[in-house]
Amino acid sequence: MTTLLEAHDVSRSFGGLQALAGCSLLVERGSITGLIGPNGSGKTTLFNVITGYIKADTGRVSFEGKDITNARPNAVFALGIGRTFQMTRIFARISVVENMLVATQREESWLRGLTRSKSSKSELDNAMEWLDFVGLARLAHLPAGALSYGQRKLLELAYVLVADPDVILLDEPAGGVNLTLINEIGEKIRSLNAAGKTFLIVEHNMEFVMNLCDTVTVMHQGCNLVTGRPDEVRSNPLVLDAYLGGGDDEDVAEEMSNG
């Protein structure tokens, strides 16, 4: 396997808060990589740095060997990195299918948008296919604001997929969603992965992460603590410490140097 996406020694602080303190992360091509950690450990900040929403103070992000540190979000998306948000973000006042069409033009020049209609036949068909994939096709012409929370999650996944990105960053895909839908989302991710898509997933639902991911990285206080297979990570004392708050910083540092 080759490395598709890499964050190397990324730091970022907000005022006095060190949200990321030299965090590194590797995402292999074709993998489903999980990113877990206690609240405030910097997972979403790392997502934001990778996708260009937040600038890194130091460190480097690269995609397919190319340096993309601090590139703008639209440029990052055009390269083939799609993402969803923890707080689901859709365009509430346009229709579901129009939501899909916004994302369709990944590499189109902005001038082209002036002279062409909203969608071509093939774009529309493609959009409807993906809506059908997530089970929203029959709601295509409703305003997206009428969708339930779970449906919004699915729509957000669908409109990221419509642009055919190489890697998809999901920020808590199972958060606030009922069990049936969690399993359904898990199934979608698995089948997309089988078709060659790479995933990086932030999630608090441990069962979801452990069942789905090939590799899991645990973050703690802005650093990557442990990386490994789900079963390795699950039993790692450092991880238990981070989650249960068993030791303070010094203990963790000590344990890391020992083992």
Partner 1 sequence: MKLKQSAWWALALVVFALFPVVVTNPFYTTIGIFTVMYMSCATSWNMFSGYSGYVSLGTAIFFGCGAYTMALASIDWHVPGGAVQFWLVPLGGVVAMAIAVPLGAVALRVRRHTFVVITIAFFFVFQLAAINANFTGGPAGLSLALIPWQGNAYNTPFYYVALLILVFAVVLSALVRRSRFGLQLLAIRDDEDRALGLGVKVKAVKLTGYTMSSFTVGMAGALYAMFLGQIYPQFVFDPVFDVTVALMAFLGGFGTLLGPLVGGLILESSQQYLTATYSNGSLYLILFGALFLIVVLFMPQGIVVKVKEIWMKRSLKDADGVDGATPVAMAGSVKP
Report the interface residues with partner 1, using CB under 8 A.
Answer: 51, 53, 72-74, 76-78, 83, 85, 89-95, 98, 101-103, 105-108, 110, 112-119, 141-143, 145-146, 159-160, 163
Smaller CB separation from partner 1, 71 or 177? 71
User: Residue 219 is encoded by which pair of tokens?
Assistant: 């973050």
Give the 3-state secondary structure of residue 151. Answer: helix
CA pair distance 89, 161, nearest whole angstrom = 15
Residue written as tokens 């002036």?
A: 114
Residue written as tokens 């916004």?
A: 102
Q: Provide CB contacts within 8 A for 197, sequence distance 6+.
A: 165, 166, 167, 168
Strand partners of residue 23: 10
Q: Tell me 215's DSSP state.
A: E
Smaller CB separation from partner 1, 101 or 218? 101
Smaller CB separation from partner 1, 108 or 125? 108
Q: How far is CA 136 from the centre of its chain?
A: 21
Smaller CB separation from partner 1, 140 or 206? 140
Q: Tell me 82's DSSP state.
A: E
* Element spanning 32, H or E: strand 32-36
CA pair distance 36, 33, nearest whole angstrom = 10
Cβ(172)–Cβ(86) below 8 Å: yes
Measured from the CB of residue 254, what is the shortest distance to partner 1 in angstroms?
41
Measured from the CB of residue 99, what is the shortest distance to partner 1 in angstroms?
8
Smaller CB separation from partner 1, 21 or 94? 94
Smaller CB separation from partner 1, 163 or 182? 163
Measured from the CB of residue 187, what is the shortest distance to partner 1 in angstroms?
24
Q: Residues, the chain, total?
A: 259
